[in-house]
Amino acid sequence: MGTWTYSYNALGKLVSQTDAKGQTSTMVYDKLGRMTQRTEAEGTSTWTYDTKSKGIGKPAVITGPNGYKKELSYDALGRVSSTPNSQWRDIHHHKYL
């Protein structure tokens, strides 16, 4: 079991956590409070956000350790419309009824 420790910023966002084994994860946020980076023992993940009118404020690109990369596209209503993935080289199209 053990003890976990958590630290938060002035906005109440989690900025670090240390598990019972002493491994620490840290998080970084942009001025809008969206996570832009998370660093863990396995590596660093990053989030880039869409600035287009359909997806404004939503994740556009997510990258992770070991070359993982996911790009998200949005339809006219701001819903995910496709999610290509560089790791598997496929594209998932989403259709809403």
Position 59 in a domain: yes
To the nearest whole number, what is the mean pLDDT of the chain? 83
93 three-state secondary structure: strand
Supply the range of the domain harboring residue 73: 42-97
Same structural domain, 21 and 49 = no
- pTM given for the model: 0.73
Same structural domain, 25 and 60 = no
Q: C-alpha distances in angstroms, 14 versus 26, 34, 35, 48, 73?
A: 8, 11, 10, 19, 27
Tell me which residue of 62, 93, 61, 57 sits closest to 75, measured CA to CA.
Answer: 93
Task: In whole angstroms, give the CA distance from residue 94 to residue 80.
Answer: 7
Same structural domain, 64 and 25 = no
- Band the pLDDT of 30: cuts 50, 70, 90: very high
Domains held by the chain: number: 2
Position 36 in a domain: no
